[in-house]
Amino acid sequence: MRIFRHFDDVPAGLRGAVVAIGNFDGVHRGHRALIAEAKLQAEVRKAPLAVLSFEPHPQEYFRELRGEGDAQSFRLTPLRAKARLLADLGVDALFALNFDAEMAGRSPQDFVQKILLDALSISGVVVGHDFEFGKGRAGNLAALSYMGEMEGFTVTAFDTVTAAGDEKISSTLIRQLLKDAKPEEAARLLGHWWAVEARVEHGDARGRTMGFPTANMHLGHCLAPAFGVYAVRVNILDNDKAVSRHDGVANFGIRPMYQVNVPLMETHLFDFDGDLYGKYLSVELVRWIRAEAKFPSLEALIAQIAADAAKAREILAKTP
């Protein structure tokens, strides 16, 4: 999959694509169904399949504009993780266009003419039924469909995908499930395990002295799940490809015993002996085990870590 941060000089082989448009945060089951529809149309037309999204997420841009830049991030999938998930779906090109003042100020007509037609020469678009676009969200599905009729591209509105019990699958619901310490429920709606992805940093090495060395990661521009201990699966990545996969146990939080100010993901990989400093990891949250706690002694902490590791092994042995 090719990734473009602009819409200038699009290669001829990618023009005429069927384009799925949206933020696709999390690339959940609803997003996957929409992209599958776009893929089917692309295959029928023998056209490329593309996804058009924005970076930063428009909500992040407007938060920054309102002076809320330090507000807790809500992103389920930063660009790097999103791109890998989309590539796995067979997308040929991702147009992750810069969302800035110029983009925010584009009229619906300008967005269609300059980007979809002049730059991409699209043959069709697939969007959610509640799709809005252009300055002030002035454009809607009816307007896009009218422009499609005038300019000769198809517009497909994709219905909301629901889970069991007519529950709407949405990024908002998935975020809440992760904050409520229900990663397995979030995975049911995502269609994949939700993961924290970041580079391993040097820490204080306390875990190693206790017999449980950890890979320490700051989340950065990513949603913070519930604090606590998790059973996890860890992919060690190289050039965005998983080179090995390991079971483990992780703690996310502020470590009450040591009063860390910035939340940290500390992951212990089972039966692993190697140097992870500087490596890029994807830590999949499988099950929440317990909340963070302060212990009366170092010995009590070590005993609890051992119990957490045993519980994580038990959970992962039963989890496909």
| Residue 256, pLDDT score | 65
| Residue 12, pLDDT score | 95
| Residue 165, pLDDT score | 65
* Encoded tokens for 119: 């730059």
Mean pLDDT of 46-68: 91
Least confident of 77-91, 211-225, 282-296: 211-225
| Residue 193, C-beta contacts closer than 8 angstroms, at least 6 positions apart | 183, 187, 233, 284, 285, 286
> In this prediction, what percent of the chain has a pLDDT beyond 70?
94
Is the backbone peptide bond immediately before 108 cis, with ω within 30 degrees of 0?
A: no
**Residue 34, helix vs strand vs coil:** helix
Selected residue with higher pLDDT from 16 and 60: 16
Beta strands in the chain, from DSSP E residues, in sequence order: 2-4, 18-21, 49-55, 93-98, 124-128, 132-133, 139-140, 154-158, 195-199, 215-217, 228-238, 241-253, 264-269, 280-290
| Residue 70, pLDDT score | 57
Least confident of 162-171, 187-196, 226-235, 238-247: 162-171
Q: Are strands 195-199 and 280-290 parallel, antiparallel or unpaired?
A: antiparallel
The Cα 216–Cα 104 span in angstroms is 37
Specify the DSSP element, H or E, that contains 251. Answer: strand 241-253
Residues 138-184 have pLDDT tens digits of 999 999 999 999 999 999 999 877 776 667 899 999 999 999 999 99
Quick one: which of 248, 264, 252 has its CA closest to 213? 248
Chain mean pLDDT for the chain? 92
Burial class (CB in 10 A: 0-12, 13-18, 19+), 258: exposed
Mean pLDDT of 66-83: 83
Q: How many CB atoms lie within 10 A of CB 105?
A: 11
> In this prediction, what percent of the chain has a pLDDT beyond 90?
77
pLDDT at 306 over 70: yes
| Residue 207, pLDDT score | 63
| Residue 69, pLDDT score | 63
The Cα 178–Cα 186 span in angstroms is 6
| Residue 247, C-beta contacts closer than 8 angstroms, at least 6 positions apart | 231, 232, 233, 234, 269, 270, 312, 313, 316
Burial class (CB in 10 A: 0-12, 13-18, 19+), 183: buried
What the chain holds in terms of domains, given with CATH numbers, is: 2-161 (3.40.50.620), 170-317 (2.40.30.30)
Which residues does residue 92 pair with via DSSP β-bridges, in sequence order? none
| Residue 206, pLDDT score | 65
pLDDT band at 208 (very low <50, low <70, confident <90, very high): low
DSSP string, 136-153: GG-EEHHHHHHHHHHHT-
The backbone region for 167, taken as left when phi is positive above 0, alpha when psi lies in -120 to 50, beta otherwise, is: beta
pTM (whole model) above 0.85: yes
Residues 18-46 have pLDDT tens digits of 999 999 999 999 999 999 999 999 999 99
Q: How many CB atoms lie within 10 A of CB 209?
A: 11
Quick one: which of 189, 200, 219 has its CA closest to 268? 200
pLDDT band at 296 (very low <50, low <70, confident <90, very high): confident
The Cα 269–Cα 187 span in angstroms is 21
Q: How many CB atoms lie within 10 A of CB 148?
A: 18
Residues 237-261 have pLDDT tens digits of 998 888 999 999 999 998 765 666 7
Please give the DSSP secondary-structure letter assigned to residue 160.
Answer: P
Mean pLDDT of 173-201: 96
pLDDT band at 284 (very low <50, low <70, confident <90, very high): very high
